[in-house]
Structure 1
């Protein structure tokens, strides 16, 4: 087993608890999987609705020297879609899990690569004592490919609309105070990335998306009574939805549209914020004793 693979499989979360000063002493702050020009040429644009996770996995495999059709990757990741035509309870359930979790990315990458690629997730919530850029640089130089799972509803620039989803993005490089990512191709200040990586597993759903599905015949009690996830009850999603409806009706009757309504309700989310590190597995032999082709990057491990 390669040193990197051993480290990914066996390292404990204590690795993340190095002080920032110690990490800076160990490594410099710059590391790149691709140059900017290579990223422009090689990045994959979003392959489908809610498929940012599968899109990131396509680029992970590319970075590790493995070409797999985007449709096959999406099948392996098992991207979940929003049920936009459903009544409110089912719609909110679909919103809470639309797209993919880090676990789906890991299993999808392994399946799509026929076992040649493995992944390890590092959670960033609750907050960790880690200096993000040096930590990422160390892993990139070791041959790992990072994917960030971020709550894009955090660190929203002033004056911009709150996004309506979490997002997975491949990180193709870092340098001091900056993180380079694909889908979209972007350079983001490390403090913004860190804030989005450090989020509870919740999602804000716009008021308009709730009200247009809040019909008299929808059973809101299903949200708090029939879910295996107790957060639906503790976040009082049912109560917030009812409150939206009542306030909206009162304001329409009073024609007091100048006052601001609560803009979102908070629901549980299936995602966990953090970084997934992907790397090539060692050569294996299948049951027919045929050697699985090696990944390009394994030669350097």
Structure 2
């Protein structure tokens, strides 16, 4: 299997100079300048640290994380509260925009573009257009999509700064990686749902777990629509009866995140960005 390093280093020769692309940093600059994950569930704050850096502002990672108010998983909570914490752990695009504005003292603005439901857009040219105008993109992606057969399903969504694009290639930080345009489209076009691993459910499932709150006490009706309570009960029955049918490997819960691209720019040059129309649906 090709490693991330091999993909990126190969792209350095083959993709980076391609016509129609745009780069905030070269691949070597990205390897040297990127900020690695600054804390648990803090991929959004990490991306914003590099957004500010790319826009010429130096703000301490701790200050950025404070401004974004990264939410953490409540790993020691009973199952219903744990699942609720999982649905919102990390940050949404709205938190990234507000946090970037606060951390930059109003010098940076952001604008989110939904990519679900499917949009009428050619992703690489669209990103190149905005990068050339001085914008810095951050992708909010469902990493649980496009998982190759046989590989483990990732445990979360992910925010990553996009430092450049070229023909059929999108370059990102944390970690430095290159992804095809098609794969990016799939990650960026997802319902707001999250898969929770079987072991994470059963570890916290107790005889006195009040599962009904998953349907009755949540302000988000998607918990009931997805029948999260029923999914948990089925998973528990699979465990107890050891039936021959395939065991549920995950349950599906609502997620606070929306898949798409946030574009950041300096306030004095961001009028066009703020006035740009939403991407049209297919």
Check whether TM > 0.5: yes
Aligned partner (choices 231, 248, 251) of residue 262 of structure 1: 248
Residue 231 of structure 1: aligned partner: 222
Structure 1 position 218, deviation (Å): 1.4
Structure 1 position 217, deviation (Å): 1.3
How is 1:158-173 mapped onto 2 (pairs within 5 angstroms)? 158-173=149-164
Residue 3 of structure 2: aligned partner: none
Equivalenced residue count is 251
Residue 70 of structure 1: aligned partner: 61
Structure 1 position 233, deviation (Å): 0.1
Structure 1 position 260, deviation (Å): 3.0
Taking only aligned residues, the RMSD between alpha carbons, in angstroms, comes to 1.1
Moved over 3 A (4+): none
Q: TM-score, normalised by structure 1?
A: 0.82
Residue 104 of structure 2: aligned partner: 113
Structure-2 separation of matches of 1:29 and 1:92: 43
Residue 219 of structure 1: aligned partner: 210
Long gaps (5+) in structure 2: 1-18, 270-282
Structure 1 position 235, deviation (Å): 0.1
How is 1:141-290 mapped onto 2 (pairs within 5 angstroms)? 141-251=132-242, 260-282=246-268
Structure 1 position 159, deviation (Å): 1.8
Residue 95 of structure 2: aligned partner: 104
Highest Rg: 1 or 2? 1
Structure-2 separation of matches of 1:179 and 1:196: 12
Q: TM-score, normalised by structure 2?
A: 0.87
1:168-204 CA-to-partner distances (Å, cap 9, x unmatched) read: 0000000000000000100111111110000000000
Structure 1 position 108, deviation (Å): 0.3
Q: Which moved more, 1:116-125 or 1:153-162?
A: 153-162
Secondary structure (helix, strand or coil) at the match of 1:282 reads: helix
Secondary structure (helix, strand or coil) at the match of 2:120 reads: coil
Structure-1 separation of matches of 2:246 and 2:45: 38
Secondary structure (helix, strand or coil) at the match of 1:153 reads: coil
1:187-227 CA-to-partner distances (Å, cap 9, x unmatched) read: 11111111000000000001111111110111111111011
Residue 116 of structure 2: aligned partner: 125
Long gaps (5+) in structure 1: 1-27, 284-301
Structure 1 position 157, deviation (Å): 1.8
1:230-249 CA-to-partner distances (Å, cap 9, x unmatched) read: 00000000011011111110
